[in-house]
A and B are shown apart, each in its own frame.
Chain A
Amino acid sequence: MAERSQTGRAAADREGRSEERPIGRVMAQVAMVMNLDKCIGCHTCSVTCKQAWTNRSGVEYAWFNNVETRPGQGYPRAYQDQERWKGGWVRRPDGRLVPRAGGRIKRLATIFANPVMPSIQDYYEPWTYDYETLTNAPLGDDFPVASPRSALTGKPMKVEWSANWDDDLAGGPELAAQDPIVRRIGDKVKLSFEETFMFYLPRICEHCLNPTCVAACPSGALYKRVEDGIVLVDQDRCRGWRMCVTACPYKKIYFNHKTGKAEKCTFCYPRVEVGMPTICSETCVGRLRYLGVVLYDADRVGEAASVEDEQDLYEAQLGVFLDPSDPRVRAAARRDGIPDRWVDSAVRSPVYALAKRFRVALPLHPEFRTMPMVWYVPPLSPVVDTLTRTGHDGEEAGNLFGAIDALRIPVEYLAELFTAGDTAPVDLVLRRLAAMRSYMRRVNLGQERDETIATAVGMTGTEIEDMYRLLALAKYDERYVVPTAFGVDEADRGVIEEVGCSLDFDGGPGMGGMGDVPFGEASGRPDAASVETFHALRERQTSDGAATGGRAGTDGRVNLLNWDGNGRPEGLFPPRDGGGTDNGGDRGAGPGPR
């Protein structure tokens, strides 16, 4: 059975110990939760992600992180419609899962032309502008205009669509009505739409526990990392068969049309490995992202992903998560080679807390059966806003609970997104969020704590305050609980030097210089300027003092891109009289004392 093979090579030795459900193979996953209530749709995450990963030719159209307005078509257009795009898994009558686009034989039979791959038009044709005209145009009465040019052909083009063309419901009912969910639940949402019901949905790769993209890769280039569950593409093994693009129901694998290879969100693994949050999290203006380790029972993933009723998938996935505070789990984790450090981290994990302890985070489209690991706290704001607009006290518990009931329409929409259409879990989440508002308002106003508000949603006052702390106050270290990598390099020694820097090779991402080389663009060895940038940036962000300007071997050279204005990098200024040292002079020994 397909899912039995989940555990793969690495866990082959763990087979056959599941009589009375002891804990199976424990695996760790670095996961994310986004609190949609706080998303203001500023696209900062998208932009910083793009700058970090996809500001190269060939992936102009690719946004590893994008922010969609809901209701809306999303990016690529209507990607959620799996009848059309054939992403994710389907459960066959005998209970086995097969990729919706077909199993191994069918994959290979259609390898010469993937029948359901989105075209560039489904994303958008990337473009630039003819800036040269601005400086070269002859003197005339009219100002010269930089008109759009296709980044694919260089020819003039009409810009008609992009990754967030329908942002903030731009395009109105015509575009939003093509949202696959709106089409499914019909007029119910349109009514609400007239009440300007709208929220933002930032999306990255889900780094699924049961990834279809990995299952569909004929070359075996896509893999899920044992240590942290991050799903990556081995660029040296990818042969450009494009099956992963079809298989991913979230359409979060992009085909680099210059290099002919698949690329995807990396969960910023070079940062995560050294304990830093992903770029999208780091730069999130609303501070709505949470990162943390979730321990799960890998032996149960296949079973959970193939439960018969789609609406049970959410609970099934929760059932796969293991409680890191449980001593038995800790023992099993140790048995399976997970360092205690990681288990400790999992105990503090905000992701586990929001998903399982408070149950306010929900998976995106569990019905795709991939067991996604980027979860969402659904938005309550429209409810509060609507109430306030009608003149009610939008934060009074009774009003709020009633309003959630009355606003069935958004709840149904949210349920289509997060629970395969089952409104009960979404309803509970919204009630809990509402309860938290009412409960904490009393606290803030110096009133007595009203435990009944908490019990009405199945929580205690303490739990509500913990949840409030996490959702409203949590600082950097509480939002991003990311342990440093383990495995090869004995990170336990406390030195993570170079463990994470997998950009440390010629031709890593972000390289320039993909010129006219003999075997097609991007073959061979391009320049490595941004490798240096990466190292310098990391040094700057992780050291106390001013950056010294690069790695060993680059001393004496000053990369102005990396100079943050602090200190006096050697060679940048003429030497001072009087022989005073400054920190630019500490060769190779890292930032010097000031």
Chain B
Amino acid sequence: MNPEAEAGGSGPMDLVLWGVLPYVVLVLVVGGLVWRYRYDRFGWTTRSSELYESRLLRIGSPLFHFGLLVVIVGHVVGLLIPDTWTRALGVSDTLYHVTALAFGIVAGVCTLAGIALLIWRRRTTGPVFSATTRNDKLMYVVLVLAIVTGLGMTVYFAGVELAGGHTGDYRETVSPWFRSIWILQPDIAAMAAAEPPYKLHALMGLALFALLPFTRLVHAFSAPVGYLFRPYVVYRTRDSHPAAAGQSARATRRGW
């Protein structure tokens, strides 16, 4: 998929993949979310299929979602916190990696098992399958690839390390690159030096991000945290709605 990785150093392909692509994806995500919020708020939903089938969903969905939450936390820690910081805190590299691997593998397996169950349910439960769009199928492919590459990579590197081999530390390649994106000075060389599995997983991740605003995954951005802090019963006047939908180009849609 990315043969230039073998070449070492950073070629033009690296520039495109690690210098340009992240920003394209960023624009897609931000622009896509803004666009969708303005023009398709009605389509912004989980599109739950629990009404059709709940027995498998009740196991698969929490397994997947909670697993994914841990995975996300793991990514945040791994990508955002520089290794110098953890070392300064007195966490040895070994301890760090063992902890990360343990959590990562457990959470990854849960996520993968969850989504496997969900996909199996989706395929075998008639009404759920009927309600599956092409958009959903594409999303599932990318999502599963992202999970599989991530988990596979983790397991593979853990295996190599256990066998006494040596693998590159992503905290010296992927993480600096990821952080450099946000300060608009992409460290292309760092990512170019990463091992191929990391690159593959990063590309899958970028693909998944690019899809986020345009699939049902968009529901992730409406995690109802505000619910914890609001009074139980919501009152609203008839005219308060246009304020909320003020940015929308089209007329206010009332509830019914």
Contacts and interface: CB of A to CB of B under 8 A. Distances in A.
- Tell me if chain B binds chain A: yes
Interface of A: 2-3, 5-11, 53, 99, 104-105, 107-108, 111-115, 117, 119-120, 150, 152-155, 210-211, 214-215, 217-227, 232-242, 255, 257-261, 263-264, 266, 269, 485, 487-488, 502, 504-509, 516, 518-525
B245 A108 contact: no
B214 A10 contact: no
Contacts of B241: 234
Given A6-B231, A211-B233, A487-B239, 18 more contacts: A2-B232, A113-B62, A119-B54, A219-B222, A224-B235, A226-B236, A227-B237, A233-B256, A234-B253, A235-B254, A239-B224, A258-B131, A260-B48, A488-B237, A506-B250, A518-B135, A520-B135, A521-B131
B164 interface: no
Contact of B52 (A7, A257, A522): A257
B154 interface: no
Contacts of B237: 10, 225-227, 487-488
B235 A505 contact: no
Nearest to A509: B256
B230 A220 contact: yes
- Among A215, A225, A237, A507, max chain B CB count under 10 A is at A237
Given A255-B51, A520-B43, A232 B234 contact: no
Q: Which of A258, A488, A504, A507 has the most CB of B within 10 A?
A: A488
Contact of B233 (A5, A114, A227, A488): A5
Interface string B214-256: 1110010010101110111111111101001100001111111
B24 to A, nearest CB: 20
B142 to A, nearest CB: 16
11 contacts: A112-B61, A154-B130, A223-B236, A232-B255, A233-B256, A235-B255, A239-B45, A261-B45, A488-B237, A519-B216, A520-B43
A108 B228 contact: yes
A480 to B, nearest CB: 20
A232 B253 CA distance: 12
B126 A152 contact: yes
B50 A242 contact: yes
A189 to B, nearest CB: 32
A158 to B, nearest CB: 14
A236 B228 contact: no
Interface in B195-231: 214-216, 219, 222, 224, 226-228, 230-231
Contacts of B251: 504-506
Nearest to B114: A112
Contacts of B46: 239-241, 260
A115 B205 CA distance: 31
B75 interface: no
Interface of B: 36, 40-54, 57-59, 61-62, 64-66, 126-127, 129-131, 133, 135-136, 214-216, 219, 222, 224, 226-228, 230-239, 241, 244-245, 250-256
A265 to B, nearest CB: 9
A508 B255 CA distance: 9
Contacts of B62: 112-113
Closest 4 CB pairs of A and B: A523-B43, A5-B231, A218-B224, A215-B232
A367 B108 CA distance: 46
A236 B39 CA distance: 10
B238 A488 contact: yes
B233 A8 contact: yes
A214 B89 CA distance: 46
Given A8-B231, A112-B62, A117-B50, A519 B236 contact: no
Contact of A120 (B51, B135, B255): B51
A108 B235 CA distance: 21
A7 B236 CA distance: 10
Contacts of A214: 232-234
B222 A239 contact: yes
B236 A225 contact: yes
Contacts of B130: 152-154
Contacts of A238: 45, 255
Given A119-B54, A242-B50, A224 B252 contact: no
B235 A259 contact: no
B227 A108 contact: yes
A236 B244 CA distance: 10
Contacts of B58: 113, 115
B235 A104 contact: no
Contacts of A487: 237-239
